[in-house]
Chain A
């Protein structure tokens, strides 16, 4: 038996979480370094996964591990990755060290006498982040539906405490007021996601029942179910398949927020600290869109095609609605949250366009959106921590006082509006082209999103960074070394993946082709293919 690489990639942050939590109260700094160390170790393992993975090799999943777990219910501990999962694991492992570094002081105890000496917020903060990482990673790896479900749900617990327990020290109504807003946001997050998850649980069990019915013994294994469908051994009735699909999709649409299930996100991202907001939108929410690709489409291909028109319309609404609401926000972090809703609309649109450009683009979009939102949100967090306010109107002329901060903020913003040359452009254009080639009207309307994106980004930049220097802003210090160490690599990555995304597309393309073949969809052919001429010209 070979080394269980995938298990290790999830286990290392889990062990890190326990180790960090166990650090004594007085040794806060040790806990921080420990957390950073474990997150870096996870990054190394994720890199090993990426290297050991062979894009385009035979079979849907690689580096597989499989053990019986709950025999009576056919639940297996089954892990495996395709190119999409490898890309998202890499994204997660990459972002968490930056999240930790950016949140270095976010959980330091308040000044003044400590109310309770046994409460160790710093240790807790970093342990919770690592716990989320572990669960997200295993969600990307699980090929057993039940195993996936457990961690999909379990990650709500650490997220709930991260949102409710740690906020900016920046409320206009005092600490008490912001604590109450925070806990409301956390509860809302929990309720929405629990509701989604519980409906999914019903569908998971329904799926088990159906397989038990037709295959003799029930199974949760994705590969087995897909194989059985292909062999004709398993045939869900149309009605059953649609119901099960909706059960799964509902949970994922809450997590990845799709309009109109999005309303928990602005609160959760607005009230939590910037690093936690990044964790929510860049990492945890990606499990939702990832699961649409892996589970919704592959388990229920016919129902997926059946639901496509409605989902495309909802995605389109998300794109425009999220962008318009972003324009109307007064709070920097809520603005970024609504922008993310718009971007999730693009991702979901790309997935359900059912073309290789659409789904490849959607996968790239997940990665690129993670990096660009992290860059923008973390710089926004640095800005907010300096001034103690999230309101856009409280800023003005920051560019003059802190040019590097303003410059990095602008690059993050330009990535958010998908400027060519930066990574998000590649994915956004692929999604648009992939959608357009099958649904031209949807593609054209979605293009309006690129104008609105420019509007909310540039308005945000103009109001905060340009204009006369406000007196509260005048003495604002520029980015410190630690902060620059967070932002600079993210920006470099945005540039690199914008100019040379080929490593990523090579990784993702075979997995997308596999998904499309399971769903039995083919790219539309051009009217006048001139491919041959192009080859000849070279």
Chain B
């Protein structure tokens, strides 16, 4: 049975290789080939899952050793896999949701001439992510980790004739590389500390080393997680990543990529458990990001960017939970899975809206769409209810548990974290209601010609404003798109409840991640009530602002905070001023320096040593021979001197 593990990765990898090297011959069937390989991986995952279920809880770890990868001295890296409850959960999510996104893309990318290549990249994405969660050591995980980075680079920049897409792709890769530095250093630290970087031995020997070492490793792993999971301060790539086709956003935000950081921290739980300082850093990052993302999400008029802010925020919840230790790991993963369903559903829904609206993304140009796209409306609506934590739906179960665990951290810290998580829940309800109302309810603003926005005066007036304006004809998307949306909506509704029956999900993960019941200072029912109350408040607030009053077709100038939030809370401006401008100046200065000072100094030394400064001009005219002869003469003198000194 364990011999199937490698095939999980191999299937989508083979698909990618076939599609990318196969050439134009495969253009006509490429999308189905890609979908088939994704489904094959899912089909392999199911029997492995039932096999694990059939075993005792303690016997649910399978290993497959393929070959020795890099053996140099004490450094032994293997290509070997480990399938346990944690990786199995991820495998099912990645291949399941991933396959649905493949099917959806068949319709969504129908008119793109490079569709075959798109599916090749999607397959590559799945393969890299599967490698990441199935590796049995950190170095092989690193391969998947960067493979995910590569696949996202290729997909974000898929429409690379658009300079904005090419820039966004580059930015994503670069920001991720900063995180990768953290992972490299963490692996190096593990090697010097333990002499290995395989999960089993490292996590088993954690008790034998000092807390300082563990804290260092933990912080480096956190840096890595920040890059891949778009957590503050490495979150800036996520918003721009919306340049990719919408199914890519669904893939990045739900099934792959951003969840990798949560996986890394949960997998390294033993290290973090031994390093309280690193854990504090993790919860701080999580709490800050969950608010940061939520605030950004409130200010965006671009439907995809609003959802991107939401992802950042929801991943913040997961990181927060993972930083809480054994009281939070299982809930972090549970929220990750439920989020996988509803976020994929929301993105595919957004894509469906765009599909029917001539690729318009500005929600101020939407309105009243529920009549025209009923399936999209219902599935998106269920995803909406799930994410705001409407009682009974998936998000309710998973988010509520995280808030409880945050309070259970204890002391002032517990109150701060719990408060932040509650506040985040309120803001989530607010911005998601805003998205819902602006898109599906209210006036049909798309019927009128757009007016140029005073908020962004630099934007050129669109072509339509100059001539006759023809409004779009919103329509429902084809079956290949709506069926995945319906399936994801079912997951958004039911998954949380199913997982919570008898604490089934927690019990399933417990052997890997450990589990402790948290003891919050308030009773569980009080926290649940509070969660529901703040959610209702958020919804009500949004309703009064966007439901009762007409939505202006042009964004009002807004408060200072709104304007800052529109600009991702100025983080990009900071990056641009310091890193891009500063770095640019530095490289320009260095290029000058290299020419005049470094090269000049060497030229000068050579010239003065031989007393040839006057003849330098000749050299530049190409009189190499004379120079060489003089060099030879100089050397002869040197040699003679050496010989004389030795008395030979």
List residues of A whose CB falls within 8 A of some B CB.
160, 180, 183-184, 186-187, 190-192, 194-195, 198-199, 201-202, 205-206, 209-210, 212-213, 259-261, 263, 321, 324-325, 327-329, 355-357, 360-361, 397, 399-400, 407, 414, 419-421, 425-426, 429-430, 432-433, 436-437, 440, 443-444, 447-448, 450-451, 454-455, 458-459, 462, 465-469, 499-502, 505-506, 509, 512-513, 523-531, 533-534, 537-538
Say whether B195 contacts A325, CB under 8 Å.
no
A213 CB to nearest chain B CB (Å): 7
Q: Determine which of A160, A260, A458, A524 lies in contact with B602 in the assembled complex, contact meaning CB atoms within 8 Å.
A: A260
Interface residues of B in 67-126 (CB under 8 A from A): 67-76, 79
| From B180, B583, B591, residue with most partner A Cβ within 10 Å | B591
- Residues of A near B642 (CB, < 8 A) are 202, 205-206, 209
User: How many Å lie between the Cα of A110 and that of B492 in the bound state?
Assistant: 70
Given contacts A261-B602, A523-B74, contact A187 B622 (CB under 8 A): yes
Q: Does B201 contact A (CB under 8 A)?
A: yes
Measured between beta carbons, the chain B residues less than 8 angstroms from A420 are: 142-143, 145-147
**Is B627 an interface residue, CB under 8 A from the partner?**
yes
In the complex, whether B58 has a CB less than 8 A from a CB of chain A is no
Question: Once the chains bind, are A534 and B588 in contact (CB under 8 Å)?
Answer: no
28 CB < 8 A contacts A-B? A187-B624, A191-B619, A202-B638, A202-B642, A206-B642, A209-B642, A212-B648, A213-B646, A213-B648, A260-B602, A356-B75, A399-B161, A400-B161, A420-B146, A425-B143, A440-B192, A451-B174, A454-B174, A467-B161, A523-B74, A526-B74, A526-B196, A528-B208, A529-B194, A531-B74, A533-B205, A534-B198, A538-B65
Contacts known (A429-B184, A440-B192, A530-B204); A466 close to B166, Cβ less than 8 A: yes
Whether A324 pairs with B635 at a CB distance below 8 angstroms is: no
Contact B200 A500 (CB under 8 A): no
Interface centre among A400, A500, A528 (most CB of B within 10 A): A528
Asked, given contacts A328-B591, A450-B184, A451-B178, whether A436 binds B192 with beta carbons under 8 Å apart, the answer is yes
Q: Is B389 on the interface with A (CB-CB < 8 A)?
A: no
Given contacts A432-B184, A526-B194, contact A459 B598 (CB under 8 A): no
3 closest A-B pairs by CB: A526-B195, A328-B587, A356-B73
Which chain A positions have C-beta within 8 A of B208?
528, 530
Knowing A198-B632, A206-B642, A527-B192 are in contact, say whether A357-B75 is a contact too (CB < 8 A).
Answer: yes
Complex contact A209–B166 (CB within 8 A):
no
Q: Which residues on the B side are within 8 Å of A436 (C-beta)?
A: 185, 188, 191-192
- Which B residues touch A356, using CB under 8 A? 72-75
Complex-state Cα separation, A186 to B196, whole angstroms: 48
Cβ of B500 under 8 Å from chain A: no
Taking each of A192, A506, A529, which has the highest tally of chain B beta carbons within 10 Å of its own beta carbon?
Answer: A529
Residues on B with C-beta less than 8 A from A399 are 160-161
- B161 & A466 in contact (Cβ 8 Å cutoff): yes
* Inter-subunit contact B163/A328 (CB<8 Å): no
In the complex, residue of chain A having the shortest beta-carbon distance to the beta carbon of B198 = A534
Contact check, B163 vs A263: say whether CB atoms are below 8 A apart.
no
Tell me how many residue pairs across A and B have CB atoms closer than 8 Å: 235
Chain B interface extent, by class: 35 or more
List B residues 119-148 near A (Cβ within 8 Å).
139, 142-143, 145-147
Contact of B643 with A209 in the complex, beta carbons under 8 Å: yes
A348 to chain B, nearest CB (A): 17
Q: Is B590 an interface residue (CB 8 A)?
A: yes
In B158-210, which residues have CB < 8 Å from any A CB? 160-163, 165-167, 170, 173-174, 177-178, 180-181, 184-185, 187-188, 191-196, 198, 200-202, 204-205, 208-209
**B174 and A183 contacting across the interface, CB-CB below 8 Å:** no
Whether B628 sits at the interface, judged by CB under 8 Å, is: yes
Give the residue of A190, A202, A324 whose beta carbon is less than 8 angstroms from that of B590: A324
Q: Report the nearest B residue to A190, measured CB to CB.
A: B624
Report how far A74 CA is from B646 CA in the complex, Å: 17
Q: Is B639 a contact partner of A534 (Cβ separation < 8 A)?
A: no
- Given A419-B146, A450-B181, A451-B178: A327 touches B587 (CB 8 Å cut-off): yes
B53 within 8 A of A: no
Task: Return the chain A residue nearest B154 by Cβ.
Answer: A410
Nearest opposing residue in chain B for A529, CB measure: B195
Q: Determine the distance from Cα of A151 to Cα of B319 in the docked complex, in whole angstroms.
A: 60
Which residues of chain B are within 8 angstroms of A361 by Cβ–Cβ distance? 72
Q: Which residue on chain B has the smallest CB distance to residue A183?
A: B622
For A527, list chain B residues within 8 Å (CB): 192-194, 209, 213
Q: Roughly how many angstroms separate A512 CA and B635 CA in the complex, as a whole number?
A: 34
Q: What A residues does B588 contact at CB under 8 A? A: 328
A-B contacts besides A191-B627, A206-B646, A357-B72, 17 pairs, CB < 8 Å: A184-B622, A198-B638, A201-B635, A205-B643, A325-B594, A356-B74, A360-B73, A426-B70, A429-B139, A437-B192, A444-B185, A466-B157, A527-B192, A529-B194, A534-B196, A534-B200, A537-B201
Q: Name the B residues within 8 Å of A447 (CB-CB).
A: 181, 184-185
Q: Which A residue sits closest to B75, measured CB to CB?
A: A357
A187-B619, A447-B185 known; A467 and B72 CB under 8 Å? no
Residues of B within 8 A of A533 (CB): 200-201, 204-205
Question: Which residue of chain B lies nearest to A430 when distances are taken between CB atoms in the complex?
Answer: B72
Residues of A within 8 A of B139 (CB): 429
Q: Which residues of A contact B635 (CB under 8 A)?
A: 198-199, 201-202
Task: Using A454-B173, A502-B71, A533-B204 as known contacts, say yes or no to A209 and B586 having CB atoms under 8 A apart.
Answer: no
